[in-house]
Amino acid sequence: MVAREIQQQSKIIVLGKPSPHLPRWAMSTCLYGILVILTICFGLPFLWTIMTSLKTPAEIFIFPPKLLPDVVQWENYVEIWRLAPLATFFLNSVVVTVFAMIGQLLSACLVAYGFSRFRFPGRDALFVVMLGTLMLPTQVTIIPTFLLFKFLGMLDSLKPLIIPAYFGGGAFAIFLFRQFFLTIPKEFDEAAKMDGASSLWILTHIMFPLAKPAFITMAVFSFLGNWNEYFLPLIFLNSPEKYTLAIGLTYYQRVLMAGGHATEHLMMAAAMVMTLPSLLLFLVLQNYYSEGIIMSGIKG
């Protein structure tokens, strides 16, 4: 259909006017011009934040603003740790992120193995239901979940942020692992099965090593997701010593503003401290991360 349309369309064009072309140099100047503008759009807010975080309080309110600080104030990055329990927030975030990640990787991997390598009644229906949960907004289940953790006496602790990760690890993780497992030839596990290997042995000795890229990809997703999570900690945590960095930062802002001094430079420094781990992880593992996004997007 479309193919024929394309043919017709292109014939018309051949018979009609030849499409005008700009000279090559003009095209490429234009191209790089747009690229540079976009680079500024995406990069400048970032650069601006970093520069603000290295200025003195007097410098941040200079008008017209200056990008670079006169003298780089590295001590801002020391100062922020003294003004609020930022280190505690940081540590809480690390605990949540690491333990939730372990749970998510382990359980999603088991479930995906079950969905991809075994035949059982109702499998495909269950899988569709599982994928359907991808579209379910968290807010629909949040109130009973809150009440459940209240009943279990786990409010104001990191447990509600960690425990759910051990129950399947979420639709996205299961889907990603399953996609990956499907690419591993079945002959591998059948050969092992002939030799009398159990399914668990096959999972740990054949699937795990081969699925290493999927693990790394999912680890990056899991890290970014848990590190950035704002809604759930806001609901489950009350006391500042339990805060994760995400909600700790807004608490920090209130503490700083209560002082009545100009503190935007410190705020920006704290924001950078939170951003840095995500950024580093992305820069180091960006190929794995991109692969995962593409895999989920194209095949989804």
Partner 1 sequence: MVSIQTFARNWRGRNRLKMAQREALQGYLYITPWIVGFLIFILGPMLVSLFLSLTEYNIVNSPKFAGLTNYYTLAQDPLFWKSLGNTVYYAFLFVPLNIIGSLGCALLLNQKIRGRSFFRSIFFLPSVTPLVATALLWMWILQPQVGLLNYLLSLVGITPGPGWLGSPAWSKPALILMSSWGAIGGGTMLIFLAGLQGVARELQEAAEVDGAGSWTRFWRITLPMLSPTMFFNIVLGLIGAFQQFTLAYVATSLSGQQFPAGGPLYSTLFYVLNLYQQGFDYWQMGYASALAWVFLLIVLIFTFIQLGLARRWVYYESDSGSTKW
Single out the segment in contact with partner 1 by CB under 8 A; choices: 94-102, 181-189, 210-218, 228-236.
228-236
Residues 248-277 that bind partner 1 (CB under 8 A): 249-250, 253-254, 257, 264, 267-268, 271-272, 274-275
Single out the segment in contact with partner 1 by CB under 8 A; choices: 83-91, 180-188, 205-213, 283-291.
283-291
Residues 25-84 that bind partner 1 (CB under 8 A): 31-32, 34-35, 38-39, 41-46, 48-49, 52, 60-61, 63-65
Is the C-alpha dihedral spanning 79, 240, 87, 164 positive or negative? negative
Q: Which of 29, 58, 72, 133 binds partner 1 (CB under 8 A)?
A: 133
Measured CA to CA, the distance from residue 118 to residue 112 in angstroms comes to 10
Compute the radius of gyration of the chain from its Cα atoms: 26
Backbone angles phi, psi at 250, to 5 degrees: -70, -35
- Count, residues in the chain: 300
Among residues 139, 123, 135, which one has the least CA distance to residue 300? 135
> Measured from the CB atom, is 25 or 120 closer to partner 1?
120
> Measured from the CB atom, is 82 or 139 closer to partner 1?
139
Residues 143-182 that bind partner 1 (CB under 8 A): 143-148, 164, 166-169, 174
Q: How far is the CB of 82 from partner 1 (least distance, A)?
A: 19
From residue 90, alpha-carbon distances to 205, 219, 283, 285 in Å are: 36, 19, 21, 22
Q: How far does Cα 153 stand from its chain's mean position?
A: 29
Q: How far is the CB of 36 from partner 1 (least distance, A)?
A: 9
Site string for partner 1, 184-223 (x = CB under 8 A): ---------------x------------------------
292 touches 221 (CB < 8 A): yes
Q: Which tokens belong to 156?
A: 């104001």
Q: How far is the CB of 165 from partner 1 (least distance, A)?
A: 9
